[in-house]
Structure 1
Amino acid sequence: MLTMRSWFRDTTGGLPTTFWYLWTGTLINRLGSFVLIFLAIYLTQERGFSASQAGLVLGLWGVGGAVGTTVGGTLADRWGRRPTLFTAHVGAAAMMIALGLARDLWAVALGALLLGLFAEAARPAFGAMMIDVVPAKDRLRAFSLNYWAINLGFACAAILAGLAAQADYLLLFLVDAATMLITALIIFIRVPETRHAGPTVTTARAPRGALRTILADRVFLGFVVLNLFAALVFLQHISMLPIAMGDSGLSPATFGSVIALNGVLIVVGQLFVPRLIRGRSRSHVLALSAVVMGVGFGLTAFAGSAWFYGLTVLIWTVGEMLNSPSNATLIAELSPAALRGRYQGVFGLSWQIAGASAPVLGGLVREHAGNSALWLGCAALGVLTAVAHLVSGPARERRADALRRSGAGLVPADARTAAQPAEATA
């Protein structure tokens, strides 16, 4: 009992109050994340669109997200984290309802585009706020806890959505919108602004030519490209996996149960990951993650039953669990304090580009080369990404170490003092 209590205290203790409000908002939001899980099935089975048309709609979601994450990163640095988060959640809720009511392909496509824009505009501000309020020594466990909340909500949502979809698909859109509004309310009432601005804080304002600074940061951009490759593989579980399972004669409810294994495994194991990878080379961890994800998706080529699909999900989930906290802490250390929102936005852009292209590429490969070629191609891309992580890792660590020594990645002392009320522990 004492050992368990000590582990719980080491895992959750001492984190800022603002972090826990953000964590709560994440959990509530993800509990209602029904739509993205079932959008491919909804489009093909309920609306009667083809796999290519469904891929196009999902791709437009990603295009909107690419714009949103770029704009959101800029607004987080200039306007503030809190107003950006609040506006993005309210806008996403409105677009979610509009998408649920849309019927024609053009209306569905436009709704997906705008929903992606608002929903993804929140991510850079959220990431920057997490870095603002959580000390560097606690970020690994803070990001792991947040990822745990994401997947606890995802696991519950996947199961509930499979049941709700059998009653009425519109219910999925309405519940998803409601959770976004609740999250916006938490941000409005309980989350303070964490962007430190003022004449005495020299690093708070983004310098002129911020975009040029990022585009000249080859080490960071290389890391973004590798994340893009990993995301192209990982996001097939949203677009092509439900279609593949449908072709195998499995129902939407079965898909919901199978994909929920992803969240269940993360809920059970993610809290132990920080101790497992602490002190290990992040390049090696990221390389292992890419290989494991590649193997998991590659085995989907041979799946035909629910249990086999479930096995593949469990395998690539292990890779996902290793990837997420390592990615989050590394991007925090590669981001200068004055450009956190923009760096988060550019990094998030890799996810949005993947979100736009993964369903389109997956649909094209599947239709023209076959199901096996798609999944075995995912395995090959995973291995190539792993090799690239091993080659580029030392340069990333040198860059992070240089930022730490120069102090460019830190909030200055007077800004930390000004932020003291937000740093109280829960």
Structure 2
Amino acid sequence: MTSTTLDSPGFLRSKIGGLPRAFWALWTGTLVNRVGMMVQPFIGVFLTQERGMSYTAAGTVMAVFGVGSLLSQILAGWLADRFGRRITLVGGMVSTAVTMVALGYGTSLPAIVVTMFVLGVAVDVYRPAAAALVADLVPPANRPRAYGLIFWAMNLGFAVAMVAGGWLARAGYGWMFAINAAAALAFGLLVWRAVPETLPGRERGTAAGGSPARDGEAVPGRAPVRRGGFAVVLGDRLMVAFCLVTLLSTLTYLQAFTTLPLAMTADGFSTTDYGMVAAVNGVLIVLLQPLTGDWLGRRDHSAVLATGMAVIGAGFALTGLVSDLADYTATVVLWTLGEIVTAGVTGAIVAALAPPRLRGRYSGLYGFAWSGGALLAPLLGTRLLETSPGVLWPVVGAVDLVAAAGVLALGPALRRRTAPAPDADPRAADAGEAMVNT
């Protein structure tokens, strides 16, 4: 009998083995993009300090970004299912790069508002496409681990971006916008070169001449392809309820990147201080998430998710009691532990709930909930911050506790829908894909 140690090949295979080459190209692109994503966490500080806006005005502008992101999820979900995952992701990255440069040069309020809306549409287009790509590329048994690794890449990049962004904000915001744009272009190029199109039916369901079959179009030897639409997604009451719970949890979590930097600068801390504290989040995830992700992925997803949400809520609630940098860091450590617990399971839940040909739309609705949180978080957070930090943090912490209770209530239904068939081979590709063409 042999044991598996942290430096053994068996340990590494259990964490990163068994995943296709195209997944690792997507993972690498995600890492590059996140390393360069310095603007969004500092946008509130940029608007207040560089453009002279009040907290309320900055919160409103960030909410405009949230409206764009909200709309982009539905659009991107449709694009990913209709035209393909790869072209949707690449188009979003190119649009992000162009808009990021425009925002860096914008000085007037109307220009900033319009550009923030367009950026909100562009910057999150990749999310439904990337989520659908992972579900297409990775068998169900490995999906929690795969989504966890994507989450890990995002946070590895985030840790670098927070430290570098804090320094670059002091040197000049122009560098931040330029690096962000370059990273987005690099992500798009890598996906275009190394990730194949995975839209179900493309390789099997083709019409005469090799073009993709349209809805209801007959393919020789196969029944007509039926794609479905957002009406199917919205008719899935369990998915809708799960997205409502996600919105509540996101409303709390995104305070870390909207009101937390404002609260810290109001307490006399610099952008570098915030960058260092926020980087603790990424560093902890990089160190701990790979060690726990596969084990947590094998546990009941609803219980894992509820536990993580409760810990996140407690971490933010305690932020109202802190006054120095060490205390801020301690609260970040606490809610980061909750975030590590939830990593991977949400993507796996959405992938299990979605029929293969609707994975883009299901991921889009889930992203819509996240973007709804992005819209509401600065609106609620900045107004509560103007009232008092002692009001802000307990309120948003309580919201996440409500979300945790909601996940527990949905637990039995989620277990019924996401459990594999008793005779299913866990290494096999999703059997549901075959059902779409029958």
How many residues are aligned here? 412
Deviation string, structure 1 residues 375-413 (Cα, Å, up to 9, x no partner)? 000121122122221111101111224889999863239
Separation (CA, whole Å) in 1 of partners of 2:430 and 2:196 = 24
Identity %: 37
Higher helix share: 1
Shift of the alpha carbon at 1:56? 1.1
Deviation string, structure 1 residues 300-340 (Cα, Å, up to 9, x no partner)? 10111111111111111111111221111111111111211
Cross-structure match for 1:285:
304
Match of 2:175 among 166, 171, 174: 171
Amino acid at match of 1:302: L
Separation (CA, whole Å) in 1 of partners of 2:391 and 2:29 = 39
Cross-structure match for 1:194:
198
Shift of the alpha carbon at 1:203? 8.8
Match of 1:397 among 410, 415, 423: 415
Cross-structure match for 1:108:
112
Counterpart of 1:34 in 2: which secondary structure? coil
Shift of the alpha carbon at 1:196? 2.5
Separation (CA, whole Å) in 2 of partners of 1:398 and 1:297 = 32
Cross-structure match for 2:77:
73
Cross-structure match for 1:328:
347
Which has the larger displacement, 126-135 or 390-399?
390-399
Cross-structure match for 1:358:
377
Deviation string, structure 1 residues 172-217 (Cα, Å, up to 9, x no partner)? 000000000111111121111111331366696512xx22211111
Moved over 6 A (4+): 402-409
Shift of the alpha carbon at 1:45? 1.2
Deviation string, structure 1 residues 213-265 (Cα, Å, up to 9, x no partner)? 11111111110000000000000011110010011100000000000000000
- Tell whether 2:85 aligns with 1:85: no
What is the root-mean-square deviation of aligned Cα atoms in Å? 2.1
Deviation string, structure 1 residues 60-100 (Cα, Å, up to 9, x no partner)? 11110111111000010001111111111000100000011
- Which blocks of at least 5 consecutive residues in structure 2 are unaligned? 206-218
Separation (CA, whole Å) in 1 of partners of 2:187 and 2:224 = 30
Cross-structure match for 1:422:
none
Amino acid at match of 2:166: G
Counterpart of 1:411 in 2: which secondary structure? helix
Q: 1:201 touches 1:412 (CA, 8 Å); kept in 2?
A: no
* TM-score of the superposed pair, with normalisation by structure 1: 0.92
Q: How does 1:371-390 map to 2 (within 5 A)?
A: 371-390=389-408
Q: How does 1:8-407 map to 2 (within 5 A)?
A: 8-197=12-201, 198=205, 199=219, 205-207=226-228, 210-367=229-386, 369-401=387-419
Shift of the alpha carbon at 1:278? 3.8
Q: 2:357 touches 2:436 (CA, 8 Å); kept in 1?
A: no
Counterpart of 2:33 in 1: which secondary structure? helix
Separation (CA, whole Å) in 2 of partners of 1:404 and 1:112 = 49
Counterpart of 2:344 in 1: which secondary structure? helix
* TM-score of the superposed pair, with normalisation by structure 2: 0.90
Q: 2:62 touches 2:378 (CA, 8 Å); kept in 1?
A: yes
Q: 2:199 touches 2:357 (CA, 8 Å); kept in 1?
A: no
Separation (CA, whole Å) in 2 of partners of 1:201 and 1:21 = 32
